[in-house]
Amino acid sequence: MTTIWTLPRIELMSLNNLQETRPVALLAGRKAWEAAGTLVNLPLVVQAEPHTVERTFLDSLAEGLPPQVEAVYGVGGGLVCDVAKYVGARRNLPVTLIPTALSVDGFFTSIVAVREAGTVGYTTTGAAERVIIDWDVISSAPANIRGAGIAEILSIVTGLLDWRYAAERNKNRPEERFQQWAASLAAGIAQQAFKIAKDVGDGKVDALRQLLDLICIEVQLTNQLGHTRPQEGSEQYFAYAIEPRVARGRGVPYADLVGPGILLSALLHGQDAAPLRGTLTSAGIRLGELSPNNIYDTLLKLPQYVKQHNLPYSVLHETDLTPEKARSLIEQSGLNIIGG
């Protein structure tokens, strides 16, 4: 049987108006709960602050959930909400997500990006029962994460390049065959992201609402296709590979990883990375959080990494990343300056 998942119910409302009577397991980051906790009154049974999406941790969390819990809440960013979706699915409990920033598309997907065996694998959980968006909370988030989900939309640019690259070499898996209509729709979504990037970076609610719409359309498109190839390619593989080097057992804003990956992927495809860099920066994405040494070491191992983990075909599968090539990519992308 093939399942085409839908988006969760999305409620645009003030958290002050939230009413919940079911006994709740709350998963929340410390800073996120400081931002939103005073606005909600939940009948808590247990509360935890997740720090990883390693499968062993997720399973232990789900198994230790008290039996009286009737609903799971995730308050915060992508990591926390992925954990909430996973725990809810394992225990067959309804999940409510309260993002404190539009930092990832995972709030709206039916999958969880689980870390296991040194890479990222997707586990189907189904979508959350509902996602609550409070624009006062979102717009008050730090600028570097407030609209960081725009990086997921801009990854369409390089994701489409890899998807077409694989199609031209007859390397796409049958279930991930290139479809021009889908590529055209995805490209249109990315085009709109370029237009709203500066206003997203400035925290304007109208632009953040447009970003929400773009993320939801992107998610539903990949739901219809049954895969994420239109927006997941070598830029995301770079993020997967470098994450263990920089995470050190803590969550790292995903845009800090995939933003640089977009620039490097564009260059590998022979594209000008400057427009992407300018757009990411104007949206508030930080491009100088990774050390050049970590980027260099990751690039050298990336062609082998994608083959070792059987990742969908991309330009990396045919690229010889010599030390000279890696140094050149870092310099061309402007990623040789920490904090830049």
CB 9 within 8 A of CB 130: yes
pLDDT tens digits, 313-324 = 999 999 999 999
Q: Which of 83, 138, 62, 60 has the alpha carbon at shortest distance from 251? A: 83
The pLDDT value recorded for residue 293 is 96
At 338 the three-state DSSP class reads coil
Res. 77 pLDDT band, cuts 50 70 90:
very high
Contacts of 250 (CB under 8 A, 6+ apart): 51, 52
pTM above 0.85, yes or no: yes
Res. 120 pLDDT band, cuts 50 70 90:
confident
In this predicted structure, the answer to whether residue 85 has a pLDDT above a threshold of 90 is yes
Structure tokens at 136: 């006062």
The pLDDT value recorded for residue 117 is 79
Distance CA 209, CA 145 (A): 15
Beta strands in 237-327 (DSSP E): none
In this predicted structure, the answer to whether residue 216 has a pLDDT above a threshold of 80 is yes
The mean predicted confidence, pLDDT, of the chain is 96
Res. 252 pLDDT band, cuts 50 70 90:
confident
Res. 335 pLDDT band, cuts 50 70 90:
very high
In this predicted structure, the answer to whether residue 337 has a pLDDT above a threshold of 80 is no
Give all domains of the chain, ordered by start, each with its CATH number: 9-141 (3.40.50.1970), 147-333 (1.20.1090.10)
